[in-house]
Amino acid sequence: MAFWLSSPITGPTMLTATWALLGPGFAIGKMLAAFALGLFSGAVTALLARTQIVQNPLRAQGIMKCGACGTCMPTDLSFRIWRDPTRMRAFATSLVSTTRTVVICLTFAFSAEFLLRDLLPAHLLTAYIGKDSPYAIPLAVLVGAPMYLDGLAALPLVRGLLDLGMSPGAAMALLVSGGAVSIWGVMAVALVLRPLAIALFVALAVSGSLAIGYIFQALWTVLS
């Protein structure tokens, strides 16, 4: 549970991209928030270790087995992948797939950022998700996160929302919660988890993200 919640928002690529688009404060804060969310969800899951939700979280048909393991790619460690045609084919496939995903997501994201800045009245955003709005962080989690598309795509969108007056705490809550409770994230775990386990997954993501948003907002106010 802890791994599922924190893994979508960590990693060197996300850290570098967040630093470039949102600055070091958000990059470091997001990295620490991911670890904090993982620790929080892990601790709660440990407390519920004897319940059926945790002991039997998977659907009966959720675990798929490979029936042709003899044809799978070698699993031994090798840095000279160019010497193995199977590894090179897997690398090329992964490179093309990742590049296509990044290009599509970033094209959509920067287009959406442009439209946000030009078409959305700033005063509307300021009233609901601005620095002085008590609803900013809950709205970011409950409304924005389910529409979250991709970690990289979210960064320019959040940059545009910040420029329009979104509070830093709401932006952090959106970034942290989006990777877990987006429609796509929930659909992914719904294939393998039972309904009660999905409910626990979402509850941990929402409650942890709300706490992180308020803490980040308080720290941002003090340090800025």
Q: What is the pLDDT of residues 8-50, one digit of tens each?
A: 555 677 788 889 989 999 999 998 998 898 889 889 988 988 8
Q: Where are the domains of the chain?
A: 2-57+87-223
Residue 69 pLDDT grade (very low, low, confident, very high; cuts 50, 70, 90): very low
* pLDDT tens readout for residues 178-191: 777 776 667 667 77
CA–CA separation, 41 and 21 (whole Å): 28
- Say whether 60 sits in a helix, a strand or coil: coil
The whole-number pLDDT of residue 98 equals 73
- Say whether 130 sits in a helix, a strand or coil: strand
Q: What is the DSSP letter of 58?
A: B
The whole-number pLDDT of residue 118 equals 65
The whole-number pLDDT of residue 68 equals 43
Query: What is the four-CA torsion angle of 210, 216, 220, 221, rounded to 10 degrees?
Result: 50
Mean confidence (pLDDT) of the chain: 77
**How many residues are listed for the chain in this entry?**
224
pTM of the model: 0.69
- Say whether 166 sits in a helix, a strand or coil: strand
Q: What is the DSSP letter of 143?
A: I
Q: In the numeric block, which tokens belong to residue 82?
A: 């160019």
* pLDDT tens readout for residues 93-105: 888 877 886 677 6
Q: In the numeric block, which tokens belong to residue 59?
A: 């659907």
Number of helices (H), then strands (E), belonging to the chain: the values are: 11, 0
Could you identify the residue written with the tokens 């490179």?
95
Residue 192 pLDDT grade (very low, low, confident, very high; cuts 50, 70, 90): confident
